[in-house]
């Protein structure tokens, strides 16, 4: 065989192997794949989105009945090909503007289901997008949504993975995981005493580990490289990424489940890790235990099984742990969430998040990083410049009034129907109290007060964790997102607010919660240019562990230097500080 023939034969063989790897053994079409649990049939969307997509792929059994507050287990295998063309249910949660409405999607019912139970406990599904090509061995980006660990859903249109998969030539995965008291619950009566992992109460983190295990074992069938997985999360999702980065289950686990980390607008600091007066991103296990006990006591009172705390505690003492667990598992999500909102919220016990139990999560994750006890992988972190402008009600913590006049229902209605290309349909005086106007007033203006809130909330946790990582490894990059070209007055109301970088990283500019007040025809050229640069940089990081790419136009230095992402209405502006 001469050299040219041999080369041609090798190239043909590589193409065949690549197609076989990407499509999976025995696949009849590019949208058919065989997972370890059965065949899934996705959507062939090459003509519309340029991708193949699989939505609602089960990675665990529904955590219902006896499986509520249990570690996730493998799904039941299926024998007939399973259609995976619709998103799986959102995990059960109480309605917020950041979650789904009644239909598991972004629609008008979000505004009418606030504080009501939405979603389902049958929710442990993930979604996969890949470019419409036969190429295998692609880097994998797994995304964990935010929502304070009490809300969120992968069907949020901001998280559609098609544009990102195309731009980065990567496989994109988004994961549903249990939320709130269904995802994190520390209650003695639920603990078996024989499984420290399950007894941790960190069911949401165990869900994410289960999803990453599914990716490790199956993603090659979708053309992904299981040895090149990037775990990315935003806000609560970033907290969860940091939690997994420090989890002993991950650090000592084999195989390695992810190889780069992208935590955006989050941290993993206890109050004891931060200077006095700062707001931590992690609560000690004792807070979760107080919440679990309060949920049980108050649910007994709500159900008429007790009249007050003392009689509820007596009721608990007269029943076995198994009986108490059975009682709580018999309660509907709506009943438990109602108790949470009407009784626990007043006690300051309505929040949720990773529980530093010592088994699934170290009792002090920052100390673990400082000791080198974490998964050492390249880290790409980010924040938005005006994080706190998404949380103006928190300005009461600084001694002033709430920074927002409209309710969540009013906010949703205004933003759902807004026309960004028309003259302003609201004034800033209708949105922000006069106390904070003009927004540019030194010290007391909205900009100054939200900057102060940012300096005690997001920035200390950022510095704490990134400085700890940098002492252990050089591979730490950081960006700040400064884009604030919204139509007036939303450029002042939101600016570069928390989560506003996500549309740019996913390349999705609507429809979604903020799209109609952010994105106008006038700012389209600049934001599209900026978005492409951000996606290209994320893609470079997923491939190589370094976010530098010629599309940036500058060299991205290591932390504590930062890259600033911004744009005029017509062009991107990327600079180093």
Kindly name the residue from 21, 43, 133, 235 that is annotated as catalytic.
235
Bond before 489 cis per omega within 30 degrees: yes
Show the tokens assigned to 103: 């239909």
Backbone angles phi, psi at 539, to 5 degrees: -65, -40
- Host H or E run for residue 58: strand 51-58
Show the tokens assigned to 455: 């300096």
| Count of CA atoms in the C-beta half-sphere (13 A) of 414 | 17
Residue 148 designated active-site: no
Say if residues 18 and 5 touch (Cβ distance below 8 Å): no
Backbone angles phi, psi at 556, to 5 degrees: -85, 110
Beta strands 38-41; 260-264: pairing state: unpaired
C-alpha torsion 346→201→472→541, nearest 10: -90
CA 542 distance to own-chain centroid: 17
Say if residues 373 and 246 touch (Cβ distance below 8 Å): yes
- Ranges of H-type helices in 219-332: 236-246, 248-251, 285-302, 309-317, 321-330
Handedness of CA 183, 185, 191, 196 (dihedral sign): positive
Backbone angles phi, psi at 408, to 5 degrees: -60, -40
Structure-token match 């008291």, residue found: 181
Coil/strand/helix, residue 54: strand
- Single out the residue of 512, 563, 559 nearest to residue 534, CA to CA: 563
Which positions ≥6 away from 174 have C-beta within 8 Å? 126, 127, 142, 143, 145, 154, 159, 161
Whole-Å CA distances, 93 to 96, 198, 323, 377: 9, 21, 25, 32
Active site residue ranges = 235
């Amino acid at each position: 065989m001469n050299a040219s023939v041999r080369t041609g034969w090798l190239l043909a063989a590589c193409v065949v192997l690549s197609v076989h790897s990407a499509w999976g053994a025995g696949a009849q079409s590019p949208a058919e794949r065989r997972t370890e649990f059965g065949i899934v049939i996705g959507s062939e969307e090459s003509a519309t989105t340029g991708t193949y997509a699989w939505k609602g792929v089960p990675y665990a059994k529904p955590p219902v009945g006896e499986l509520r507050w249990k570690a996730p287990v493998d799904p039941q295998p299926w024998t007939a090909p399973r259609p995976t063309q619709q998103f799986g249910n959102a995990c059960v949660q109480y309605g917020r503007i950041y979650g789904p409405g009644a239909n598991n999607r972004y629609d008008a019912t979000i505004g009418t289901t606030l504080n009501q139970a939405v979603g389902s406990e049958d929710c442990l599904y993930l979604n996969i997008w890949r470019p419409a090509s036969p190429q295998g061995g692609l880097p994998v980006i797994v995304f964990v949504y935010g929502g304070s660990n009490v809300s969120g859903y992968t069907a949020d249109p901001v998280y559609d993975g098609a544009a990102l998969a195309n731009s980065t030539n990567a496989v994109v995965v988004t994961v549903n995981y249990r939320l709130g008291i269904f995802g994190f619950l520390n209650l003695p009566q639920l603990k078996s005493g024989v499984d420290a992992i399950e007894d941790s109460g960190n069911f949401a983190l165990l869900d994410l580990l289960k999803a990453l295990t599914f990716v490790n074992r199956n993603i090659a069938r979708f053309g992904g490289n299981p040895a090149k997985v990037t775990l990315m999360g935003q806000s609560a999702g970033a907290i969860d990424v940091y939690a997994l980065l420090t989890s002993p289950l991950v650090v000592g686990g084999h195989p390695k489940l992810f190889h780069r980390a992208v935590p955006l607008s989050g941290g993993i600091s206890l109050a004891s890790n931060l200077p006095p007066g700062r707001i931590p991103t992690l609560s000690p296990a004792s807070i979760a235990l107080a919440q679990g006990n309060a949920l049980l006591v108050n649910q007994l009172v709500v159900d008429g099984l007790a009249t007050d705390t003392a009689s509820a505690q007596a009721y608990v003492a007269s029943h076995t742990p198994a009986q108490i667990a059975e009682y709580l598992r018999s309660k509907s999500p709506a009943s438990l969430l109602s108790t949470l909102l009407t009784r626990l919220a007043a006690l300051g016990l309505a929040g949720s998040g990773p529980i530093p139990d010592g088994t699934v999560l170290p009792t002090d994750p920052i100390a673990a990083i400082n000791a080198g006890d974490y998964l050492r992988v390249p880290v790409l972190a980010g924040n938005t410049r005006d994080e706190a402008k998404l949380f103006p009600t928190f300005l009461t913590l600084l001694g002033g009034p709430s920074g927002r006049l409209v309710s969540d229902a009013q906010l949703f209605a205004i933003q759902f129907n807004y026309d960004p290309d028309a003259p302003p349909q609201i004034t800033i005086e209708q949105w922000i109290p006069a106390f904070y106007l003009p927004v540019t007033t030194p010290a007391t203006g909205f900009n100054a007060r939200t900057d102060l809130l940012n300096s005690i909330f997001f920035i200390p946790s950022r510095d704490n964790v990134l400085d700890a990582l940098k002492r252990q490894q050089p591979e730490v990059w950081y960006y700040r997102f400064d884009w604030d070209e919204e139509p007036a007055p939303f450029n002042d109301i939101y600016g570069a607010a928390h989560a506003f970088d996500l549309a740019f990283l996913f390349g999705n500019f609507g429809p979604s919660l903020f799209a109609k007040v952010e994105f106008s025809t006038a700012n389209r050229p600049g934001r599209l240019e900026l978005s492409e640069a951000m996606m290209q940089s994320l893609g470079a990081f997923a491939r190589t562990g370094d976010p530098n790419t010629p599309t940036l136009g500058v060299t991205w230095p290591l932390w504590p230097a930062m890259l600033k992402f911004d744009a005029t209405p017509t062009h991107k502006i990327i600079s180093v500080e």
